[in-house]
């Protein structure tokens, strides 16, 4: 029996069955009546945004405390709601608002500090803690999953989010597999490590199949013009109308200016585990442990326990070093390279989706039904010079990074990890 690595998933709020998703379903509503004002706006969010009422409704909210939040699911639900309300307030008008009122800023800052997350709509707020399903339903099938809170109320938005939920659920079994592979390398069991690497590749291909289901129920124009502006953060958003970011007003003239990335799949802890496991180095410093760069920065947008899991996995990961040092083990190298190329194919599928849902709509210009005086990420993206070029470097993602160059560099770095 191969000993397991020195790591316990429970210690990091990670599950062998659900991965980085909660063990139980996310709380669908804060039951204490004190928080009904938040829940009321969350339940009406699409209509309030559409009718131009969201800002006035938020301005009229009382400044609630966090005193009645008890359990971890309650803290997560509150964080998710206020993340949605934050981005709805900033981006829910003709022009973005660069001052967030105390009724949102004050409780959100407290909740974010408690959870170890930034006060904005992160991947955790939008996806990990924002879904529901029927009892005993299969979470790996996006058709079984629905959203708790939505900016637009469209099937397109729901499908965009639940595809990620399904990928997270499917990827859960790969976590134990990766730990088993690390253990196999530790005791020099080449045969078992080879088999586990091939199983890992099979799992990645399954995730790619799920990712490619994005096209089924998500219209590119709805995503680009209706949903994507609300996913944007306040970092690198000068062209979208936020040159200084957003001032988080906590009352009595107190507060600070902040620039945060918006919700991004780069904030998925699952995706980063694959890089760590295979020893894919995205850092300019040549070190896959904490360094600089966008991917490393995105760990700050993950729940603290998940971030700590990635740090621990980085300490334990030995796969690439073992494979490169193995003598007379061509099958092991083939299995490792197959895993690297399968991860690269997953990233290729992501690039194709970004091209279809972001680059192509941006190049096409504003269609008549979306022509207005609005200033947001969609209108800014549609006005960038040079988008007809092969390398649209001026196109920024919701996370605030130059989109296509970043994705292609990430894909190419993955390929370069092959032995």
Residue 282 in marked binding region? no
Residues in the chain: 419
Q: Are 79 and 117 in contact (CB under 8 A)?
A: yes
* CA neighbor of 84 nearest in space, from 116, 114, 111: 111
Kindly state the tokens that stand for 222.
């709805």
- Supply φ then ψ for residue 145, to 5 degrees: -115, 145
CA separation for the pair 258, 235 (Å, rounded) = 8
The CB density around residue 23, as the number of other CB atoms within 10 Å, is 10
Residue in this structure with the two tokens 């992160």, named with its chain if needed: 122
Using left for φ > 0, alpha for ψ between -120 and 50, and beta otherwise, residue 251 falls in left
Rounded distance between C-alpha atoms, residue 22 and residue 80, angstroms: 14
Q: What is the rounded (10 degree) CA torsion for 342, 412, 337, 202?
A: -10
Rounded Cα gap, residues 145 and 131, in angstroms:
7
From residue 384, alpha-carbon distances to 106, 233, 363 in Å are: 36, 19, 9
Give me the sheet containing 99-100, strands edge to edge: 99-100, 246-251, 254-258
3-state helix, strand, coil in the chain (%, to 5): 55, 5, 35
Read off the tokens for 48. 């309030």
Torsion of CA 413, 342, 161, 176, to 10 degrees: -100
Neighbouring residues of 297: CB distance < 8 A, sequence distance ≥ 6: 261
CB neighbourhood size of 384 (10 A) = 15
Measured distance CA(391)–CA(346) in Å, rounded: 21
Binding residues, as ranges, are 350
Binding residues for heme b, as ranges, are 350
């Amino acid at each position: 029996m191969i000993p397991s690595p020195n790591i316990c998933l429970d210690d990091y709020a990670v599950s062998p069955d659900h991965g980085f998703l909660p063990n139980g379903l996310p709380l669908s509503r804060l039951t204490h009546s004190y928080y009904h004002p938040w829940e009321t706006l969350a339940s009406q969010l699409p209509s309030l945004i559409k009718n131009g009422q969201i800002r006035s409704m938020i301005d009229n909210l009382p400044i609630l405390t966090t005193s009645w939040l008890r359990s971890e699911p309650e803290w997560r639900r509150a964080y998710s709601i206020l993340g949605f309300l934050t981005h709805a307030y900033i981006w829910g008008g003709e022009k973005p608002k660069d001052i967030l009122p105390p009724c949102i800023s004050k409780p959100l800052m407290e909740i974010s500090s408690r959870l170890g997350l930034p006060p904005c709509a992160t991947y955790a707020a939008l996806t990990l803690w924002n879904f529901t399903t029927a009892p005993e339903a299969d979470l790996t099938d996006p058709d079984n999953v629905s959203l708790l809170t939505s900016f637009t109320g469209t099937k397109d938005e729901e499908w965009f989010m639940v595809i990620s939920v399904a990928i997270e659920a499917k990827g859960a079994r790969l976590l134990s597999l990766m730990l088993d592979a690390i253990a196999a390398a530790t005791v020099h069991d080449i045969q078992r490590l080879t088999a586990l690497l091939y199983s890992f590749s099979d799992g990645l291909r399954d995730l790619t199949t799920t990712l490619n289901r994005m096209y089924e129920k998500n219209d590119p124009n709805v995503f680009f013009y209706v949903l994507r502006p609300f996913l944007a953060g306040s970092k690198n958003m000068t062209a979208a109308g936020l040159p200084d970011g957003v001032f988080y007003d906590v009352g009595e003239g107190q507060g600070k200016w902040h620039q945060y990335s918006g919700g991004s799949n780069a904030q998925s802890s699952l995706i980063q585990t694959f890089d760590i496991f295979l020893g894919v180095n995205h850092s300019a410093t040549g070190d896959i442990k904490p360094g600089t760069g966008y991917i490393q920065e995105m760990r700050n947008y993950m729940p603290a326990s998940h971030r700590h899991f990635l740090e621990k996995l980085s300490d334990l990961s030995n796969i690439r070093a073992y494979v490169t040092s193995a003598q007379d083990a061509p099958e092991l190298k083939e299995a490792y390279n197959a895993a690297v190329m399968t991860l690269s194919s997953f990233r290729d599928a992501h690039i194709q989706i970004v091209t279809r849902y972001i680059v192509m709509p941006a190049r096409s210009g504003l269609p008549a039904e979306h022509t207005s005086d609005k200033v947001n990420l969609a209108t800014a993206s549609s006005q960038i010079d040079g988008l007809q070029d092969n390398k649209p470097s001026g196109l920024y993602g919701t996370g605030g990074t130059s989109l296509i160059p970043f994705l292609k560099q990430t894909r190419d770095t993955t390929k370069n990890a092959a032995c």
